[in-house]
Structure 1
Amino acid sequence: MAPFSIMTVGANLLTRSWSLFSTALTVRCSCVAPTLKNFSTTSGGPPKRPLTAYLRYVIEQQPIVVKQNPEIRVVDVVRKIALQWRTLTPEEKRPFEEASITAREQYKVDMKAYQEQLTPAQSAALAEEKRQKMAKRRAIRKKRELNSLGKPKRPRSAFNIFMAEHFEEAKGTTVPGKMKSLFDDWKSLSLSQKQIYMQLAEDDKVRYKNEMKAWEEHMTELGREDLVRRKESRRKKAATKKGKKKSRVKVLKAKAPAKGAAGKKSSDAETKKTPSSTKK
């Protein structure tokens, strides 16, 4: 049974793709792989992955919950279904789990048939696409981790501050329309009017620098040096090396006079010996 927190992580993703999920149940790749005439690594290519038992339950319950609660937000619909899923008994979950297992087995068969028809170039293209997707997922996971660890937000530019302040009252009914309107308004501002936002942006840079310094020190204390900026890490290492070098120089300088005195004594002794040897 998945924890509620894990279930709700995908709420936003589910809300954006109801149509995709609803068609995914009926349009499964139960036949052999598609022909490769119109091969594409982004669409019409390999069989689609089967849905999990939980997602099958979500798709089944979504229209029922919406009908019962017509004014509820989509994200709240998902949360409500997640709570329902948690209360189901193993027997009630079994039909969804069995359907998911059957779909996974069929997916393996379809995928094998599909891969057998690929050319080496197509296989390489799919491998590259998979690599890019994995890199994107790692980046998303990394961002979520940094947010959970309280990493400070990057400083905003002068225009971003202006945009946040005037977005609600901006002209336009869509986000791109509002953005264009705000950009035009920004260009029409005088330098003295922009100076206010430029100063706020400079203040935000100082805030970010101070917060990042404190945050990175805290991450180092937690043993998460991997999250510290490379530039900062290199700077600290360089400072450490510089300090060690200075220490060595001081030690050498301290030893140098003693060596000089010893050398002078030996040279004086040799000078004294030289006349006596000459007399002989």
Structure 2
Amino acid sequence: MDIQRVVKKENPEANFKDISNVSGARWKTLTAEEKKPYEENYQAEKEAYLQLKAKEKRESEAMKLLEEDHKQKTAMELLEPYLQKEKDPLKPKQPMSAFFLFSNERRAALLAENKNILEVTKIAGEEWKAITEEQKRPYEEMAKKNKEKYMQEMEAYKQKRRKKP
């Protein structure tokens, strides 16, 4: 017997508060034996709910672990070519850009002024932006010559690698 349904049937015009008050009053009058089926039903439903919530929590945690594992695998797959790749000591090194040639020249002077590496980099970048094209030209020409030399060295390097058995 559902007490609230019985009260609602007996008092169709009653609102929720009134039904709850009457149901509560009737509940208090029931004996332990009369309450037992309700309490057993409550315990069974509570246990089913707790099991469902535990299952949902396990599934959620498993999905989080799976996502983290997938992210880790993806990161490792992206890094793998760089981690496994051995550098060929005979391969020519790429030449520095005009900016890096300029920065290297300025670095010593800026470090002598007790600037840290971040300040040196920032100042060199600002100075590079501020100098004229005429002032940049020697660095750009040096970078161009270095790149041409690098391209020749790379071509010779590639030829040697093709000839190896």
TM normalised by structure 2 equals 0.55
Instruction: Tell me, yes or no, if structure 1 residue 166 matches structure 2 residue 109.
Output: no
Q: What is the CA distance between 1:191 and its match in structure 2?
A: 1.6
Which structure: greater helix fraction? 2
Instruction: Tell me, yes or no, if structure 1 residue 146 matches structure 2 residue 83.
Output: no
CA deviations on 1:114-136 (whole Å, 9 max, x unpaired) are xx984235313312312312431
**What does residue 180 of structure 1 align with?**
122
Larger Rg: 2
**What does residue 254 of structure 1 align with?**
none
**What does residue 148 of structure 2 align with?**
206
**What does residue 126 of structure 1 align with?**
69
What one-letter code is carried by the residue in structure 2 that aligns with 1:194? K
Q: Structure 2 matches for 1:55-74, cutoff 5 A?
A: none
Using CA pairs below 8 Å that are at least 6 residues apart, which structure has the higher relative contact order? 2
C-alpha change, 1:165 and 1:215, in structure 2 (3 Å) is: same
What one-letter code is carried by the residue in structure 1 that aligns with 2:150? Y
Instruction: Tell me, yes or no, if structure 1 residue 155 matches structure 2 residue 104.
Output: no
Q: CA RMSD in A?
A: 2.5
Aligned equivalents of 1:132, 1:165: Cα separation in 2: 37
CA deviations on 1:10-34 (whole Å, 9 max, x unpaired) are xxxxxxxxxxxxxxxxxxxxxxxxx
Alignment partner of 1:180: what SS? helix
TM normalised by structure 1 equals 0.34
From 136, 157, 175, the equivalent of 2:79 is 136
What one-letter code is carried by the residue in structure 2 that aligns with 1:127? H
From 132, 136, 149, the equivalent of 1:194 is 136
C-alpha change, 1:117 and 1:152, in structure 2 (3 Å) is: same
CA deviations on 1:132-160 (whole Å, 9 max, x unpaired) are 12431431331xx2343x21111221101
User: How many residues get paired?
Assistant: 106
Q: What is the CA distance between 1:172 and its match in structure 2?
A: 5.5
